[in-house]
Amino acid sequence: MKIKINNKAFLYDFTICYYYLTFDKVNSAKFDDLASFEEFMKENHPDVNQNDFSSKYAKRLESLQADASNGVFKHDDEYTTLYCFIGGDTLYSSFSYITIQEKMSAYQDGQKKVNDGYIHTFKAQNWSFDQMNSGCYKIRYWYDKEKPEGVYSIHTFKDKVIFEQEDGQIHSMIVSDNYYVHFEGKDKNS
C-alpha cells in the first residue's frame, strides 16, 4: 500500500510478505494491502486465526497514516513489511525479517523432529487392524466424507501408525515398519 506524505514528494510503502514451504524450499508472496491478503487467507486457509496479525497491521497502518497526514517522513518507515508464515493453525508475524526467519526455521525444525518419517494421514469413521502370520499388520479403514462426525485420523510413518481421535487424543499406536493400509469402503457394515 502506497501512502502519500502530505506536502512532500515522499511516500510510505507498506506491504505484507507471506512465506510458505514447497518441497523444502522457502517461497514468498507479496500483498499490497490487508484486504487482498485476507481474501487469499479466506480462500486458502480459512481455519487459521488472523486476529493478532490483523491487529499488528492495523496499528502500523494507523501510525503510518498519522505521520503521512502530518507531513512527517521517517526514513526507517519508508519501506515497511509485515512478514508472516503459517505454522499449524497459527499465523506467525513480525515486522522483522530476521525474527520471522528464525521463527520459521525453529518451527520447521520442530516439525521435522515430530514428523520424522511421516508418510500420510487417512481419515476414517471406523478402523481395525490385524497382525498376519507374516508379522505384517493389515490396517483396514472405512470413511464416508459425507459424514463429518466421528472422524479419526490414521497417521502413517515409516516405522509406526498412530490412531488419533477427533479431540487429538491418541487412541492407539502400532510400532512397526511392516504394515499396509487399505480402504474398505464408506460403511463398515456394508
Residue ranges of the chain with per-residue pLDDT less than 70:
113-115, 190
151-171 pLDDT, tens digit each: 899 998 888 999 988 877 888
| Grid cell 497514516 in the structure block, residue | 65
The three cell numbers of residue 82 are: 509485515
So what's the pLDDT on residue 47?
A: 83
Contacts of 99 (CB under 8 A, 6+ apart): 83
Distance CA 73, CA 67 (A): 7
Q: Are 152 and 188 in contact (CB under 8 A)?
A: no
So what's the pLDDT on residue 26?
A: 86
So what's the pLDDT on residue 114?
A: 66
The three cell numbers of residue 21 are: 514451504
86-103 pLDDT, tens digit each: 987 789 999 999 999 999
